[in-house]
Structures are given as structure tokens and as C-alpha cells.
Structure 1
């Protein structure tokens, strides 16, 4: 059967069903044309009868109005649905709205006329068809109450309240709430009125409108009674909306954009209600369905059909084409002051045909993406709620008593919901409907990230469903991008990391990131830096499946390859002469930043610190052990230089555990050696010696002399701190010999500095000065600032021990000149503390205290107890020289506590001598003798030369 034959058969069937069908459907060329007159059409009759009802009400004839409305409703044949066409569905929705509005009007008139019991059944049926229409429930409650059924009226309120809370997370509006309270107290105003419509109302101002326009239409949604947390955005929005309109000569347009669930519609509706009085000709709201579950975005043609219908334009007067409808729409709004809310817009092409031409109108638009090409619009972007506002929203929904009982849990709930109003309302609604649940119980359920989105759903409302709509609206390229970017977890994303994950260049990555930013699936914390909202990240991670496993793995390796190559480049600039990484990692072929100065490399590490840690965690999570170990090696170089010693140790421990797991002895030896450095910095001396020795043994087993020499040097330094000078000397000499043989001058210079420290503590000042000068000469050729500063300071220590204060002062002046805000604070503190001591010895007593106090502040900030103990002893000795024994005693006492806790025997002896001298100054001879005896015993056990050591007595 051909299509032509099917059409002919359908037309014939229609003609047979319609009275005088051959006159109504006529053949026109190769097609058919419907000949429709106004008479005989139900829709036209419906409009005529509702118009007649309006006139009857205006003239004080309520009985005639009721009769006209009832006859209009009798024309109805039932609700239309499942039409399969956006335009037809829009028309059906408009017709249904007209029917329900007429029914509400007739019920209202009947209630005013004293009817009650006879309305209950019809009201129940209509309210069941429209469960969220609160006006119908209010009429039903009043009809029940006036029928002597108070309990049922109150029960009706409880049912609608439970429905609104469960499905929408909101309470009934003021109309229902006030009626409920009035029924409870049996308010006199609820009794059957006797004179409501006895007199005609005031005549309306003269107008040329048709009867349908006699009353200004208002289709604004219900304004939430518990609206909260958007006061700043509301003020900004109202400022935009209430600015001068006529002076502009055109319609004013204000738009709100934000991620799904951020409360755009609630904010728009609240603002619209507040300015409604400024638009006496009507306030219209239409959902354009850009992101409506199960529906396609409404076309401009269908939207105009619906809007014109609300204005009362008969359907037979509405043109079939977009341009015709647009022209009619603008002519209808000419010289009117109307407010139009275009909710849930998809793009400019959908919105632009709906804009009025009248300068007295205001259009308020909401959408998930900013319509950048909508010229002349004022924009308000809304993001997550501030924590305090999120808490306030929870309290509004859940109640003050329940939130006050668990304040910390409520704060955790707001954090886990990411400040997203939709998530907060769903969470609060779940708690409200489960009185046995504590807030903490729900928080614990939300802590499982794999189930968080499932927990944040209630009825048809769901955070996941809201995000899914945004996801489905994108093309495949951006869907894939969202999934791949989600692999990086809670980390900042820039164009370089984006390019690595997405296998594109940095320009392509920026375009994709900006597109995701436009639709609010990414946020921007700084220029060109992007990150996920927590719940969007959970959603993005949920997109991965076994089918995407290979692509995901490739993206992760690209990201880690980028970071390994970038950290290599940054470390080459910051740490010249360092031993190159022995890792065998597939080279990353994409773009990396170019570092030409130490400032650029330092700034990059500072910016990327959290992201680098996240990359290491990702490598560990995915079992990419080689990336884990060698990325850590590069990162800890920088962490050590900036004094982040706790992170240094944590990452080193992870590297050791990873190397053991993968049975990678080369990585294990290097990682153990780094762990030893971290332990020295933190004063974990015994652990440090154990790690360094194991690292040395592993390196020796492999024949890795570079790692062996580094471990030997570290062992020597740690033993020096513990006062085991002869044993320390043998390890340091072994390290220096290996480093000279291998021709690794940077490592040799570091070992020479460690040797200088040992000889200084041993009282061998000339040898200490020689080692320091050798280290300094190497550092000058490498131009490595931080080690250069310490070599100068080591030499100054040796000169001061010899009494060569002028020469020591010159070395310290050079060291201070090389320090800046990026220098390791512990190292700078040591340089400043010794500078104060030397200046005092040179008789420039006015300068010393300022340097000393700055040294103490930096030492406390350094995170290194070994540095802090040494600095406090140096400054304590300065105050002893200046007779400030009380301050000196406090400093030496604290230094002693630090030194004892980490078995730093040299500084323990320094502190005891200082405490002895201060106690003697206080006249406490017994305490002085006790402290001095302990110090002498420590010195003898270390092989030092007692009071002859300048570094103890000055």
C-alpha cells in the first residue's frame, strides 16, 4: 500500500466522521484543505462562553458566570497526550491550562455563592489530575471545611504537604499554609460569605482589549517560602531588572546562568514576584525545556503559540509560521508593560524570536549556559552556595532544632553537597521524611563517592539526572572530554594537563575546557585554571566503564608522562648539576611549559603542587609504579628546597613502598636515600640512618655508585648530628671519594658541606674552613643558589670558630644577599642567627637583635626541628652575651627539649651549656653545675674538646 493511498483512505475516514465532512475537508490540487468557520468549533465556543463568564462577573451576575463556565467545560472531550509532536504537545498543554483555569474559576464562584459539599467530588478528581496545583487543594480544603468535614480538610493539607516535601523538597505556599492555620482556629472569615458579589466591581479602565485581556494574565510559578542563600545574587538581579527601561528605547533583557541544580529558576521566580507590581499588564512564565527529562527543547514556534494563547488570542488567529507568530506576539505586547520569564533556555536562536519589541517589557531568562551572542543582555552567573547559606537552607527545610543538634554534621552535609541547592534540598527532604535518621548518618552515606549521586535523589528529582541532561546535550567530543577529565579527580586542570588527557594541543584543550565552562560543567578558580564541582566530578567518574578502560589508561599515562617531563625540565633549571633520573619512561610528545629562569620554575612548582600530588596518587591508584617513584623523586627535590618536609617524607615513604612492591631495586635505593634526607630535616634521626644504610646496601648490590655515595653522605650527616664523629668521618670520606671518581661535583659539594659541619662540631676549625671553601668553589661554578648560601654560611662558622670575625662577616653578607622570599626558611634562619652572633662580636650591637628575632621567626616556620634547635641555641648565646639571661634560658630550654626528642646530641650539649650559664647568672649554682656536668659528659662521649669549642661557649 502506497503512502498516497494511505492518505486518501485517512481523509475519507475523516470526512465520514465529521458532519458535512465533504464541505469541511475539500480537495485542493494534489492535497487537501480544511474549511473551518468559527461557528461549530468547540474551541471557539469555549472561548465565547468563558468570555461571557468574564462579562457576567464584571457585571455582578455570578449565577450567569457559573452557568457560562459550566457550559464551556461541558464541551471538553478529555485530555490530549502522546501526540508525538512538540508543537501539538505545546498546544495541548495550553488547552489543558485554559480548561483547568476555567474549572478553578467556576469552583471559586461556587464557593463564593455558598456551595460546598457538592463540589468536593469534582475538586478531588481535578486535584488528583494536577497534584502540585495548590490552588485546587485550597479550594478542596475550604469545600470540606464548609461541609462540616474539618478533619478531612486538615488531612488534605497534610497529604499535599508530604507530597511537596517528598517530591520537590518544599513546603506548601502561603495560601495553603494560611488556610490550614485558619481552619485550625476556625477563623470566622472561612464561613460562607453573603455579600462577596452583591455589588459589581469597580469598572476597569477603558481598553480596546478583547474580553480575554480584561484581567492581566499571570502564570508565574509558586515563589518558594524557604528561599534563602541567594541574597547577594537577588540584589544584583533586582538592580539589573529595575533599571531604567524606557530610556533605552527597547525591551530590557536580564539572564541568569549556572550549573544544573544551582537554583536559577527559584532565583528568577523570586525576583519576578518582587517586581510583578511594576508590570500591570501581566507576568508570564514559560518553560522552554532545554533540560527537561523526557522532553525535547520547545521550538520558538510552539513557545509563541503557547504565549499567544495565554494572552487570549484565539487559535484560529495564530499564524502557522514563526515569522507570523513573532509579528503577532510583538503587536500584542506593543504599549504594554509585561514581565516575561523564559525559563530553561537552550540557546539564542530559541530565545530571540520571543523577545518583545516594547520598551516597557522586561525579559528574564534562565539557562545552563551563557548565551554569549544575545546582544544587550545583562548577565548574572550563580555558582554553589557559600557554606553559611547552605547551612541556612538546610535549617529552613529541616528545622532549627534538628540542625542545632548536629552543627558539625550539617556543615559536613553542606560540604558533601558542594553547596548545590538541588542537592541540599534533596538531602534535607530525605532527612525530614526519615525522622530516625541523624544528619551524621546521611553524611556517612554520602562519604562513599561511588554512591553519592544515588543518595542525592528523591522521587523524580536527582542530581545525577540533572547532570545527565547537561551531558546528553553536548556532542560526542565534549562527552568524551568530560569523562577523561574526570579521571584526574579533585585537581586543577590547565591547558597543558587538559591537552595531555584529551590528546590534543593546548589550543584545542582550551576550546574544550571553555566550552565545558560555558555550560557550567567546569568551574574556573583562576585565569586558565579549571576544576570540577565535587558532584560533577562524581558524575564524570561514573561515566567510565569497561568499554572505556583502554582509552582511560592511555589518557592517564599521557598525563603522568606530561608531569614527569615537566618536572624534569623544572628541576634542571632549579637544581643544576643534579644526578639525572635513571627512569625509562615513554617520552611525552605533547607540549610542556618552557622554563628559562629559576623564578619561572619555582612559580610553576608552587602553582602545580596540589596537582602534582594528585598525579602521584593517580599513578599509585592505577598501579603505574615507575611513574609513581620517579615523579616523586622530582617533586621531593623541590619540597626539600622550600621546606615542606612533612610532604617530603610522606611521598618518600610512598616511593619506598612502591619500589618494594614492584621489586625495583634501583628505585628502592634512590627512594630510601631520599627518605633519609627527609628524616634528617624532621629530626627523625634513627629512622633516617636506617633508611640511608639500607639504601646504600641496595645501591652497592646493584653497583649504583651514585646512589651509594649519596647514601654514605647522608649517613655521615646523621651520625654527625648524633655526635658520632669518628664513624661519621669515615662515611663522609667514602662519599667524597666516590663522587670525585664519578665526577658529580654537585653531590661532592654537598658532602663537603656535611664534612665541614662535622669538623666544626669537632672543634677542627681550619679543616672545617678548608672543606667549606672547596664546597663553595664548586657551587660557584654550578650557580646553585641555596647550596651556595649554605656553603658561605659553613665557611663563616669555621672563620668564627677561629675568631676571624671580619672574614666571617663578609661571607655572611654575601649569603644574605643571595637570599630572598623563595629561599628555604630554615637555611635563611641559620644564616641570620650566625650573622647576629658575628655582628655582636664585632661590636655592632645595635644590629644583632633584629637579625636574631627574624631568625627565630623563620626557624619556627621552617618545619625542621634540627634547624630550629640550632638557631635557638645561637640566638640564646647572643642574649647571654647581652646579659639577657631570662630570654636566653627560655631559648636554650626549648632547644634542649627539641634536641632530646630527636637525639640531636650536639645541640643538646649546646643547650645544656647555655642553661648552665643562665642558671649561674640567676644565682642557682646547683642547677648550673648539673647542666654543665651533663654537657661535659655528652661532649666526652662525642670526642669533642669541651669548653674549647667556640660553637658551645662563644
Structure 2
């Protein structure tokens, strides 16, 4: 609604639109009763969110008016240029008309609101489209009269395809084809339009088309291009000739509207006493030149004495950057200064350029600058001139410049560029593939254009096929090559512009396994101190070879990373480059850093964990400043992607001890965040690495961690195998702590399979050993598991005792996540004992304690239990809200033992609410999840819940079958009749 209101006002700037007109624009013929009120609210909101909105949208009487004076509006610019073109045509200036039409048409971006604006806006859009097409036809006519032919055919073919009923365009295409020597194609164009008009409208072509057809048939000389005037004489000494040497403006310029408006706003600010400098920097291929050229054309009329362009060759393959004096000579010649008047010495040429430029209103576009020294001498002295500069690195020494740093395009703009360059039909036909292609191109304009060019040249390729080819990172840069354009070559030019130490740093940093690189890990990888690492990173950032999205962290563009990794084995001949052994040494330093840093973080975030002997020493490595548990958790969260990848990198690099030791720390974080599939993958690496090392104690610990991952994922039998092997190794090593750990794990896994007697014995044995060892954190974990076992068995008193002791230990340790689980277990036991008030106390504390960093499965359980407690108190609305949060979190937790339990609890609540279909769905889901992993307690509870639901809806036979199946499982588990319930 807000967009339609704003667009309606901007389509008629300066005109008062009554509220009724705006209502019709928003809702067509079906406005709501509050339509007028909503329009007024929309205007008020627009005034708030648009800078200067109060002055833009003013109230007049019973309506509103858009005041666009002093504001750049492309519609105003478009209409003004068309008006100027009409006046120029009346004065007989064909060249001026063509130039104005080109500039007007360059502003076009398609239908207003892409054709989704409703009846009134679409009508206004259609009127603008008609004016655009009339201007297009006029421009085509001027170009035909100017002697163009073959170069027009492509544009006219596209226009005819887009507007098949515009007979003028067909006539112009026929003429262009005929003048290009394609008489048969010209006649076939006539036949096509004749058939089209007959089929669509039942009419014949107009007389102009027929006359052109007849003239072509008799090869009429009158159809030849009109004679062209002789070329203008060379410049007369002392007289400057207005010059435009700007490159062509891209027809499909896309996606830089915000940056373009920023440039234009600064360019049109009141002039000061010095020339205006607008500078655009960004990585190679980011679209700096395209943006600068578009801005230059839009600003050209403000600089009538010339619009000059020079490629400074700062980063051009196999070419040296131009010197300032050679550029000055080029510029002087462009302004008509004869060669014999141009000084021969460098200072003289620059002085002559500045003297002549001081007398003129010039727009100077210096593209591809190497550094500020190349640009500064060329700055026009006059305040009436402007310099546009593009460079890969920000030219910080160019004083008083207004800088715009170009980043990659948005996903939406990237797809829009593909639609413009490749054709909207192909993109619309494969929208998912088009989005994937944009992603694989890194939203880099050069890469997108190359990809579109490849698809153009291979019409049988689908977008999805190219996406598959680009999916192979090792060949992606090879795929992004078309003709003389190549992403790899563009990046290589930036790379070769670096000093040796920065090249080496770029290659090493590309080996970092994280999505982003913290300065501490960069220092470890580079073998430098923090200050030098930061200086190197900032230098690469200035050159746009790395990016920075948040303070202290740096990141690679995907294509730059691929390029830098490819360089690893191909150093330049003239450099002392990193050998394979040195790269391995750098990786070892990085791993040592991550082992030490995760040791520090885990000791803070997970107090009371077992100590692990390590031969690693700090050895000059700088570690992050982690002051407390919260800082440690945030650091672990931030580095999690890198930590998982670095474990794999260490394993693949044969650094097995580091892989196993680091994995031991990483699993604490993965367990805490509920990422159990990743936990299992890391634990499997640790087991494999420990076996390769023959390190028995590391293997024992790694097997224990693997058993935990299997348990959390419902892979109980695999968990028992891992825990059993771990226990055997612990006994062999006389490792009492390991023995306690693996005995307790066996208890948990046996309990999950419903083997309660065996499980109880194992858990009790584990607790005794842990208590003897004074391993409080480990003891609390086993007490929590014991409480769960008792609760499943229906022994709620014993469950409460175990949970209460676990809670005390976790509170003493400050183990927040484990405290949360203990509170949930204690609340469960009290609910089982019908002690609702006591349960509520613990649930309130749990809700206060948890936050977004707490494991999703644990939060889901607390919400489910809180919903159950609220339901018992008769707070149905509150219970429903809590249940909704529990269900959403539970289904994202990827923990089958928790998810099945939560679904069963909520199924019981919905049955009590009389919502039988939802209860049936929840218990069915719980049964499927539990049965898939042989989690027999929740499987039995799900069957029991299904029996109750079927009984409630009158399906007595099915209820009896489900009840019988549930009772069989309950009997096998030894659960008494009074505890056979689903919640």
C-alpha cells in the first residue's frame, strides 16, 4: 500500500491528488471501509522513513502533493530530456535530438512497479511506455538517417520481438536489413508482420510498410541511406572543440540505483571554490566503470565544454600504467590543441593541461587508476569542472574526494542483471537455477555478464547446466571466462599489484577454513604478531581483495578465495614463495592456536570438565581476550564454522594429534548448540585420528564423545558399541574417570532401549566412581540421566531426588545449560507426583535462565512442560502459546529422543483440549520418530496416546489395537499400569 501511495504522488509531481484518488490507486474498485484512514497513515509513515519526507509529501486541502523541487527524480529527468529533444528537433539539430533521446532512454528501468501497481498506476505506466516507444522510434529513425544500418539490426530485432504490433519498428527493421544487403530478410520481416496483423487483428499492414516492401522488390535507389555530410575539419589552433570521449553506456545497467543517486546528489551540490572529485573504488569486476559512465552521461549537460575519458591502465594485463603527463597530452589533443603547441617536457604538458582546463567546464572520467599520484596532477583547477575516478584500491591520498566503495550486488539485483543480459524468459523459466547462478558468481557483475555470455553462445545449455558446471570449485574460474573477459585475469591484475609479503599473506589466508578470519587466527596462520597481521589485513582490505563485515573479522569473496587457493602451487618465478612444507607449518600454527584458544574458551564456558594433558605451548601465539563464560560462548559461536572445518583440515593434513585434541574441545560447543550431526562427524574424525596415532587415552575419550553423539541422534546400538570399546580401554588404562564416563553412557543407552534394570546398575556404578573422584560436573550429568531413567520407569520420588542433587552440583559449578536440564527433570518429577506448585517454581526458574544460546531441544522441553503446567492450572491460552513455541523449537532440534517426548506431551494436551486431529498428528509423529530409533518408552507412550485419541473420536477397534500394542511395550519395559501415559 505504501509503495502505491508514493508512486501515485511521484507520477504526478506538483499535482494535488485527493485522498479518494489515492484510495482508488491502492485498492481499485474494492477499498475497505477504513481506506481513507489507511492512506493518511501511509503518508505519515512515508514522511517518517524517507529522508526529508515531510518536505517531499505535503498536505493540501483534502489531498496530498509531491514536491520534487531540488530532488532528483528520474521521471522528471526523463520527461525534461524528451521536451528538450522536441525543442532541438524544432531547431533542426538532429545530432542534439539523438543525444537527448539516448540520455532519456538510458533512464528507463521498465514498467512502473513492474506491472503490479493496480489499474490507475498501470494506466500511467502504459502512457509512459508509449512515450518511451515513441522516443525509441524517433531515435531509430535518426540513426537510420545518419547512415546506420547493420549496427541497428540487432536493436530493432529485440524491439520488434518485444513489441510485435508496432508497425513503425517493423518498417525501420526492413530498411536496416535492406541497407545491410539483406533484401530477403527484409521481405521476410514484411511477411511475418503481415501474417501477425491478419491473425491477431484481422487487418493488413499500413501503406508505409507496403510501400517499403514494393520499393525493396524493385530495388528502389530511394531506399538507400541519405548522403552524409563531410567530416568536420581538424581543430584550429587556439580554439577548443567540445568533446565527448565517454565509452558507451550499458543498455542493461542494473542494480546500482542507490550508489548512482549518491553520486548524482554529491555532483549536484552547490559548487565550492575547488573542483568536485567523485571516486569509486571496489574489487576488479565489481562494476566501477559501468557506474561511473552512467553517472557521467547523466551529468554531461552540466559540463558543456567536454566530457573526457581516459583509461589509466592501473590494472591492465601486459600494460604499464599511464603516466600523468602522457594522460595530460591525450586530454590536450582531445580538446583540440595541436601537437606543435603541446610542450615536450612532462611538467610542461601538465601545466598546459591545467591552464586550459581552468578556463572550461569539463567532466573528466579517469578510469582504472593505480594510485593517487597518477591522478592528482590531472585535477582540473576550475570549480566548474568535475573529476570522476575509479580505482581498485581506495586512493586515501586524494584529498576532498567523495568516496563510494562498491560491494557485490544484492541477490535480487543479480537476478535482475541476468534477466536483462540473458533475457527475462530464460530467467523466469528457471528461477531457482538463476538464483543459484547468481550465488555461484558471487553476485559479481563481471562474473554474471560472463555467465550470461556463455549461455547466449550456447543456446542449448540450460541455466541449471551451467550451475552444475560452476558447482565444481576447482574449475569455477575456468568456467567464468568468455572471449577476452575472465574473472581470473581480472583478479590476477590486483594480485600482481601487491608487494611480495601481501601476495604470500593472501595465499595463506585463503587456506583459512572459516567463513571469516579473526585477526588472532590470522596472526597464527601468518606467523606474525597481532599488529602486523592487522596491518596486512587492512592493506588487503584497502585493495578490495578481502572484505570486512564486522570489526575484527575479515572475509573473502568466494571467487577471490578460489583464485588465491589456486595460486598456492603457482608462485611467481621472481619471488621466494611459500613451499609446501612452509604451508604445512602455517597450518600447524593455526591448529595450535585453535587448540589453545578452544581450551581457554571451553574451560570458561564448560567449567568442571576433565583435564587433558597436552604438549602444546603457547609459543608466542596471541589468544583472544575471553573474560568470562559469556565472552567464551560468544567466541565459540562466532568461530564454530571454522572450528568444525579446521578439525577436518587437520585430519586431511595428517596432523592427527591436533585433530583429535581439537575435536575434543569442539564437541562441547556442538553439544551445547544441539548440532548433533556435526558433533558425530567431528567425533568420528577424532576416533579415526586417535587410531592412526595409536594414542589409547585419546581414543578412549574420542569413543566416549562418539557414543554421546550416537545417543543424541537415536543411534543407540552404535552408541553402545562405542561406549563398550571405550570402557574396555578405560579399564585397560586404569582410567577411573574414563571408566565412570563410559559406564554412565552405557546406562543412558541401555535405558533408551528400555533395558531399565541394566541401565540402573550402570548409572549407579558411574555415579559412585565420579563421586569418589570428586568429578562434580560428570556426577551431575549421570544424576540427570538417572533422574530421566526413574521418570520413564514411573519412579517419580527417586527421579526428584536425583534431579535435585544434579541441580545443586550444576549451580555450584555455574554450568548453566546443565542446570537448565536439571530444572526440567525436577519439574517433570513434580508433575508426575501431582505437585504442580513445586513444578511451577522450577519451570519459572528455567524460563528465566535460558536464552537463545541454550540448546534448542532443552528450551523446547521447558516450554512443553510449562505448557502442561499451565494447562493443568486452566490457563488454556497461555498453554497454547507455550506449546506452539515448544513444537517449533522441538522440530528444529534434530534430537529424536527429545522431539518424540515433546510431541507426546503436546499430543496429550491437545487431546485434553478436544483437538483430536492435532493430537492424532502429534502422537503419530512421536511414534514414527521413536520407532525409527527404537526409543521404546516414547514409542509406548505414543501408542497409548493414539489409543486415547481413537477412543475419543469413536474408533473403538483401532483404539483397542493401539492400546494392546502399548501395553505389550509397557510390560516389556516393566512400567506399572498407573504410569502408562503419554505425558
| TM-score under structure 2 length normalisation | 0.72
For structure 2, list consecutive stretches of 5 or more residues without a partner in the other structure: 1-144, 148-175, 186-212, 571-577
| Alpha-carbon distance change, 856 to 463 in structure 1, aligned in 2, over 3 angstroms | closer
Deviation of 1:879 (Å): 4.8
Note if 1:470 corresponds to 2:494. yes
Quote the residue 2:192 is aligned against.
none
Q: Of 223, 241, 244, which residue of structure 2 is paired with 1:215?
A: 241
Quote the residue 2:269 is aligned against.
244
Quote the residue 1:687 is aligned against.
718
TM-superposition CA deviations, 1:617-639 (whole Å, max 9, x none):
32233222222222222122112
| Alpha-carbon distance change, 894 to 235 in structure 1, aligned in 2, over 3 angstroms | same
Distance 1:708 1:862 in 2: 30
Native 8 Å contact 2:942 2:982 kept in 1: no
Deviation of 1:680 (Å): 2.2
Quote the residue 1:641 is aligned against.
672
Q: Of 484, 489, 492, which residue of structure 1 is paired with 2:516?
A: 492
Native 8 Å contact 2:276 2:385 kept in 1: yes
Residue range with higher mean Cα deviation, 779-788 or 685-694? 685-694
Residue range with higher mean Cα deviation, 806-815 or 523-532? 806-815
Deviation of 1:519 (Å): 0.8
Quote the residue 2:975 is aligned against.
944
Deviation of 1:880 (Å): 5.0
Quote the residue 1:101 is aligned against.
none
Deviation of 1:724 (Å): 0.8
Alignment of 1:393-432 (within 5 A): 393-399=417-423, 408-432=432-456
Quote the residue 1:622 is aligned against.
653
Quote the residue 1:161 is aligned against.
none
Distance 1:584 1:429 in 2: 56
Deviation of 1:400 (Å): 5.3
Deviation of 1:747 (Å): 0.7
Deviation of 1:467 (Å): 1.8
- Partner of 2:891: helix, strand, or coil? helix
Alignment of 1:76-225 (within 5 A): 150=181, 191=224, 196=229, 210-211=236-237, 213=239, 215-225=241-251
Distance 1:147 1:843 in 2: 86
- Partner of 2:278: helix, strand, or coil? strand
- Partner of 1:581: helix, strand, or coil? coil
Deviation of 1:552 (Å): 1.2
For structure 1, list consecutive stretches of 5 or more residues without a partner in the other structure: 1-111, 115-144, 155-180
Deviation of 1:732 (Å): 1.1
Distance 2:387 2:757 in 1: 85
Deviation of 1:286 (Å): 1.5
Q: Of 918, 934, 937, which residue of structure 2 is paired with 1:906?
A: 937
| Alpha-carbon distance change, 152 to 517 in structure 1, aligned in 2, over 3 angstroms | farther
Distance 1:715 1:793 in 2: 22
Deviation of 1:940 (Å): 1.6
Note if 1:589 corresponds to 2:620. yes
Quote the residue 1:94 is aligned against.
none
- Partner of 1:303: helix, strand, or coil? helix
| Alpha-carbon distance change, 586 to 397 in structure 1, aligned in 2, over 3 angstroms | same
- Partner of 1:830: helix, strand, or coil? helix
Quote the residue 1:80 is aligned against.
none
| Alpha-carbon distance change, 152 to 631 in structure 1, aligned in 2, over 3 angstroms | farther
Distance 1:187 1:483 in 2: 67
Distance 2:722 2:898 in 1: 21
- Partner of 1:376: helix, strand, or coil? coil
Q: Of 849, 865, 869, which residue of structure 2 is paired with 1:818?
A: 849
| Alpha-carbon distance change, 402 to 802 in structure 1, aligned in 2, over 3 angstroms | closer
Deviation of 1:540 (Å): 1.1
Quote the residue 1:895 is aligned against.
926
Deviation of 1:367 (Å): 0.7
Distance 2:838 2:970 in 1: 28
Distance 1:467 1:113 in 2: 41
Quote the residue 1:369 is aligned against.
393
Quote the residue 1:871 is aligned against.
902
| Alpha-carbon distance change, 187 to 722 in structure 1, aligned in 2, over 3 angstroms | farther
Cα RMSD of the aligned pairs, angstroms, is: 3.6
Note if 1:573 corresponds to 2:604. yes
Q: Across the two proteins, how many residue pairs are aligned to each other?
A: 776
Note if 1:298 corresponds to 2:329. no
Quote the residue 2:129 is aligned against.
none
Structure number with greater CO (CA < 8 Å, separation at least 6) is 1
Native 8 Å contact 2:183 2:216 kept in 1: no
Deviation of 1:884 (Å): 5.8
Q: Of 780, 786, 793, which residue of structure 2 is paired with 1:755?
A: 786
Larger radius of gyration: 1
Deviation of 1:402 (Å): 5.8
| Alpha-carbon distance change, 788 to 193 in structure 1, aligned in 2, over 3 angstroms | closer
Quote the residue 2:950 is aligned against.
919
Residue range with higher mean Cα deviation, 430-439 or 306-315? 430-439
Quote the residue 1:342 is aligned against.
366
| Alpha-carbon distance change, 859 to 423 in structure 1, aligned in 2, over 3 angstroms | closer
| Alpha-carbon distance change, 216 to 605 in structure 1, aligned in 2, over 3 angstroms | same
Distance 1:381 1:459 in 2: 28
Q: Of 713, 725, 737, which residue of structure 1 is paired with 2:744?
A: 713
Distance 2:224 2:266 in 1: 45
Quote the residue 1:769 is aligned against.
800
Distance 2:331 2:295 in 1: 21
| Alpha-carbon distance change, 587 to 914 in structure 1, aligned in 2, over 3 angstroms | same
Residue range with higher mean Cα deviation, 859-868 or 651-660? 651-660
Distance 1:430 1:852 in 2: 52
Deviation of 1:606 (Å): 2.0
Distance 2:289 2:882 in 1: 60
| Alpha-carbon distance change, 725 to 188 in structure 1, aligned in 2, over 3 angstroms | farther
TM-superposition CA deviations, 1:131-181 (whole Å, max 9, x none):
xxxxxxxxxxxxxx9999947999xxxxxxxxxxxxxxxxxxxxxxxxxx9
Q: Of 279, 292, 299, which residue of structure 2 is paired with 1:275?
A: 299
Distance 2:438 2:935 in 1: 47
Native 8 Å contact 1:255 1:365 kept in 2: yes
Native 8 Å contact 2:520 2:622 kept in 1: yes
Native 8 Å contact 2:514 2:639 kept in 1: no
Q: Of 311, 332, 337, which residue of structure 2 is paired with 1:308?
A: 332
- Partner of 2:516: helix, strand, or coil? coil
Distance 1:605 1:761 in 2: 34
Residue range with higher mean Cα deviation, 905-914 or 399-408? 399-408
| Alpha-carbon distance change, 918 to 742 in structure 1, aligned in 2, over 3 angstroms | same
Note if 1:383 corresponds to 2:407. yes
Quote the residue 1:327 is aligned against.
351
- Partner of 1:344: helix, strand, or coil? strand
| TM-score under structure 1 length normalisation | 0.74
Native 8 Å contact 2:926 2:939 kept in 1: yes
Native 8 Å contact 1:386 1:419 kept in 2: yes
Note if 1:233 corresponds to 2:259. yes
TM-superposition CA deviations, 1:475-506 (whole Å, max 9, x none):
12211111111111562012112111122222
TM-superposition CA deviations, 1:882-925 (whole Å, max 9, x none):
66666544433332232222222112222233333343344444
TM-superposition CA deviations, 1:680-733 (whole Å, max 9, x none):
222222332233223323333333332332222122112112211111112112
Residue range with higher mean Cα deviation, 493-502 or 229-238? 229-238
TM-superposition CA deviations, 1:260-307 (whole Å, max 9, x none):
122222322233233323322112111222112222222222222222
Deviation of 1:616 (Å): 2.2
TM-superposition CA deviations, 1:293-333 (whole Å, max 9, x none):
22222222222222223323344443455544333222212
TM-superposition CA deviations, 1:505-530 (whole Å, max 9, x none):
22222221111111111122223321
